[in-house]
Structures are given as structure tokens and as C-alpha cells.
Amino acid sequence: MKKEKFVILFAGAVGSSKSPIANYLSPKLNIPIFNNDAIRFEVI
């Protein structure tokens, strides 16, 4: 059986609880979190 891939993207103002929501959902949905700031730092 083929497993579907999906992306959940959170966008919003600073302090709008994007990270806490992602940290809550990540283990429940068994999906990784990719932090945009961390990716930007690695690319630079």
C-alpha cells in the first residue's frame, strides 16, 4: 500500500503560537518539524 505524503504549513504573526501547535501535533501525527529559521541559517 502506498503511503501518501503531506505537508502542514503554519503561517502567522510573531507570537501567534505556531511553534507550540507544531510541537503538539508532531508526535501525534508522527511527522517531523522543519523550522524555517534553522533552514535559513544552514543555507547561509
**Residue 1 CA to chain centroid, in angstroms?**
26
- Give the integer Cα–Cα distance in Å for 7 and 32: 10
Q: Residue 31 is placed in which grid cell?
A: 511527522
Q: Which residue has the cell 511553534?
A: 19
Q: What is the pLDDT of residue 26?
A: 94
The DSSP result for 1-44, as a single string, is: -PPPP--------TTSSHHHHHHHHHHHHT-----HHHHHHHH-
Domain boundaries, the chain: 1-44
pTM, to two decimals: 0.68
Higher pLDDT among residues 6 and 37, named by residue: 6
Q: Which amino acid is at 6?
A: F
List, for residues 2-22, the tens digit of each pLDDT value: 888 888 888 899 899 998 999
